[in-house]
Chain A
Amino acid sequence: MTTLTMAAAINAGLRKAMERDPKVVLMGEDIGVLGGVFRVTDGLHKDFGGDRVRDTPLAESGIVGTAIGMAMRGYRPVCEIQFDGFIFPAFSQITTQLAKMHYRAQGNITLPVTIRVPFAGNIGAIEHHSESPEGYFTHTPGLRVAAPATPEDGFTMIQQAIACPDPVIFFEPKARYWDKADVDLDAPFDEAKATTGMSRARIVRQGDDATIVAYGPTVRLALQVAQVSEEEGSSVEVIDLRSLSPLDHQTVVRSVKKTGRCVIVHEAPSAFGVGAEIAARVTEEAFFHLEAPVLRVGGFFMPYPGSKFEHDYLPSVDRLLDAVDRVLAH
């Protein structure tokens, strides 16, 4: 076991993937000599060279578009989009090309492209650097969407994403980059189980009275709230979704059938978000087990505000606790 930050764990996962498969190529802005603005690719340029850790022109559509061509020739490009808010120039390539190519080609083309996106807020950043655009991509058939919440998952899931034959949008919660945990760098890696491995949700805390569903940056928040709830006498289960597409709704439904209450928390605006999908699933499949309405705690329906407002804008312990208290009141 090695104690690593999430940034270092993802870095270690990238290194493993590059060692395992010479076709893995990293590309993005400032990922080479600089090591990426969050240093997630630190040292990889030195060890693998500029041909495999490529600084690209400042053109996000170009990054994803050329990656598609490279994947068609058998490479496994791992693109870094420097910040969440800068993914939109690549939106057309991702949604009209990357997501659809396998389908359009009737399976004759596979595009194992991974797009890494540092996402979400809470780091005091300026505009366009704190957004949670995952809903755009979960709504797009043909893409897989994943978000690790811990260093262990950062290490394992990035390798799984790269090994997966489908395109994966890999959202890295940037506020969690500096969280530390023990990571088993020698854990065996089963390429054949990569896709199923990263598609499963994880129950990170058992409970009986209510379920909090979280992913990425809000998993830690959910655990804090569960702790406070326990001190107040309630037993709250916490689920880390890990994968947003596919959604492991069965794990959620099973949990809600047990607890009868469900609160979903994410930083993206609640309206039309991942939480809405979960609420619909729970209503369809666990309706008669529900003791309370399904609640969502998320960002408000507005552009991400100035960072001096973000602690009021983002889901907080108090807001999440309030929602848990409201479902427990039923």
Chain B
Amino acid sequence: MDAHGPLSDNGVVRLLTHTGDRLEHPEYSPFAQDLDFAALRAMWREMVIVRAFDTEATSLQRQGELGLWVAALGQEAAQIGSGHALTDRDWVFPSYREHGVAYLRGVDLADILRTFRGLEHSSWVPNEHNFHLYTLVIGAHTLHATGYAMAMDWDGLVGSGRPDHDAAVICYFGDGATSEGDTNEALVFAAVNNAPIVFFCQNNQYAISEPTTRQSKVALAQRASGVGIPGVRVDGNDVLASYAVTRQALERARSGGGPTFIEALTYRMAAHTTSDDPTRYRTRDEEDYWRERDPIARLTAYLERAGELPQAFQEEVRAEGKELATRARIRLKESVRAPARDMFDHVYAEPHATVDSERAWYERYEESFVDAEGSHR
């Protein structure tokens, strides 16, 4: 692997090796100090449950129940680690693969499937979770996140020094998004406005089929130096390190220290989506290499070796994961599409003549199929 390229291991913060051994880091270990075994078990539980759900969703797509599924497989540590550093007051702007973060924000994962079935474009109320809608236009939401963070600052939510008051934004995106104009504009706007935002890039090494080397000649975190904000690389398959670097960055943002760019080096273990075929562009050897660096496996190894992951707990969590998967499956199959006329709702906040007249026409058209006995012809 290129020693300085976008996939090098240079300067990557790591607190847990892929064999499950703890490492110390002078700057970041203190930010993971509060993670005792109970906390790590909680993270393990979340990672396992999210993966169980993810696997079920892939099956549901294969069985024709979903139009598409976007698996987060392999990225659980980056998401659960960073997500744990958030408070309820912080705001999250996800891309479309952050099911782990959604879970932590209290979004019912079973509901998310409605979106991927094509019943609706969003399946949660952002304000109820401080978790914005998924955005499919790559990088577009980085600007929304930045504007939102600037407005949080105007609202006095930054730099009061009160931990129960200050807040920040975290914005998730992938390696491909770092090439988008919007992401670069977001970095500029955030930097010059000292916005309370953490840019959390999950470098999962592929934008569908394009490796990160098609996006960058240097480590993605180096983009930060161009706009004058701190950039840090972290092992995204290490839940402790992902937590620690995010916690530091969020604390900086909340205290008025401005934005941080985090690059979490991880690996998209599954296909880009269920429509993708990774065998066309990557090798089995590469996949094996990263399977050995599975984010859940290394935490399992560490906790088991410490005698802190009892078998009974593991079984309990796996049962919980299965329960969620089953509930999601049943809920999905029972889901009912709203009547067609409802698709005319919410185009505008206030009445709009074109929408109103087309809705009226459509209703008359539908009525025309009703015969004298009141049933549809």
- Using a CB–CB cutoff of 8 Å, the interface residues on chain A facing chain B are 51, 56-57, 59, 61-62, 64-75, 77, 89, 92-93, 96-97, 100-110, 141-142, 144, 164-166, 195, 199, 245-249
B180–chain A nearest beta-carbon distance, Å: 10
B352 partner residues in chain A, CB cutoff 8 A: 144, 166, 245-246
> Do B149 and A69 touch across chains, with their CB atoms under 8 A apart?
yes
A249 partner residues in chain B, CB cutoff 8 A: 353
Chain-A contact segment, one of B58-66, B96-104, B138-146: B138-146
Show 13 residue pairs from A and B whose CB-CB distance is below 8 angstroms, ordered by the A residue: A62-B188, A65-B140, A65-B144, A72-B144, A77-B147, A92-B137, A96-B137, A104-B122, A104-B133, A141-B347, A165-B349, A246-B352, A247-B354
A70 partner residues in chain B, CB cutoff 8 A: 147-148, 150-151
A78–chain B nearest beta-carbon distance, Å: 14
A96–chain B nearest beta-carbon distance, Å: 5
Given A69-B150, A97-B144, A104-B122, A246 contacting B346 (CB threshold 8 A): no
A95–chain B nearest beta-carbon distance, Å: 10
CA distance A101 to B125 in the complex (A): 12
> Do A57 and B353 touch across chains, with their CB atoms under 8 A apart?
no
CA distance A72 to B127 in the complex (A): 9
CA distance A56 to B149 in the complex (A): 15
B127 partner residues in chain A, CB cutoff 8 A: 108
Closest to A97 in B: B140
> Do A142 and B185 touch across chains, with their CB atoms under 8 A apart?
no
Q: A-B pairs with the 6 shortest C-beta distances?
A: A65-B143, A69-B147, A66-B147, A62-B185, A69-B148, A73-B151
CA distance A109 to B127 in the complex (A): 9
> Do A65 and B192 touch across chains, with their CB atoms under 8 A apart?
no
Closest to B354 in A: A246
Given A69-B148, A248-B353, A106 contacting B120 (CB threshold 8 A): yes
> Do B188 and A102 touch across chains, with their CB atoms under 8 A apart?
no
> Is B365 on the interface with A (CB-CB < 8 A)?
no
Given A106-B120, A108-B126, A61 contacting B133 (CB threshold 8 A): no
Classify the interface of chain B: helix, strand, loop or mixed. helix
CA distance A100 to B136 in the complex (A): 12
Given contacts A57-B185, A69-B148, A97-B144, 19 further A-B contacts (CB under 8 A): A57-B192, A62-B182, A64-B143, A65-B146, A65-B186, A66-B143, A66-B189, A69-B150, A73-B152, A97-B135, A97-B140, A100-B121, A104-B133, A107-B345, A108-B126, A109-B133, A166-B348, A166-B352, A245-B352
B348 partner residues in chain A, CB cutoff 8 A: 102, 142, 144, 166
Closest to A57 in B: B188
> Is B355 on the interface with A (CB-CB < 8 A)?
yes
CA distance A100 to B120 in the complex (A): 13
A284–chain B nearest beta-carbon distance, Å: 11
Closest to A72 in B: B148
> Is B181 on the interface with A (CB-CB < 8 A)?
yes
B339–chain A nearest beta-carbon distance, Å: 15
CA distance A18 to B350 in the complex (A): 22
Residue with the greatest number of chain A CB neighbours at <10 A, chosen from B149, B188, B189: B189
> Is B154 on the interface with A (CB-CB < 8 A)?
yes
A65 partner residues in chain B, CB cutoff 8 A: 140, 142-144, 146-147, 182, 185-186
> Is B88 on the interface with A (CB-CB < 8 A)?
no
What mask results when residues 344 to 364 of chain B are scored 1 for a CB within 8 Å of chain A, else 0?
011111111111000000000
A298–chain B nearest beta-carbon distance, Å: 21
B354 partner residues in chain A, CB cutoff 8 A: 141, 245-247
B120 partner residues in chain A, CB cutoff 8 A: 106
> Do A89 and B346 touch across chains, with their CB atoms under 8 A apart?
no
Contacting residue for A103 out of B121, B181, B350, CB 8 A: B121
Given A62-B143, A68-B143, A69-B148, A104 contacting B121 (CB threshold 8 A): yes
CA distance A60 to B186 in the complex (A): 11
> Do B186 and A62 touch across chains, with their CB atoms under 8 A apart?
yes
Given A59-B189, A108-B127, A69 contacting B146 (CB threshold 8 A): yes
> Do B143 and A93 touch across chains, with their CB atoms under 8 A apart?
yes
Contacting residue for B355 out of A97, A101, A141, CB 8 A: A141
B140 partner residues in chain A, CB cutoff 8 A: 65, 92-93, 96-97
A302–chain B nearest beta-carbon distance, Å: 28
A248 partner residues in chain B, CB cutoff 8 A: 353
> Is B155 on the interface with A (CB-CB < 8 A)?
yes
> Do A246 and B350 touch across chains, with their CB atoms under 8 A apart?
no
Closest to A52 in B: B154
Residue with the greatest number of chain B CB neighbours at <10 A, chosen from A68, A74, A166: A68
CA distance A57 to B192 in the complex (A): 9
> Do A75 and B151 touch across chains, with their CB atoms under 8 A apart?
yes
Closest to B148 in A: A69
CA distance A77 to B181 in the complex (A): 22
> Do B145 and A166 touch across chains, with their CB atoms under 8 A apart?
no
CA distance A49 to B305 in the complex (A): 61
B189 partner residues in chain A, CB cutoff 8 A: 56-57, 59, 62, 66
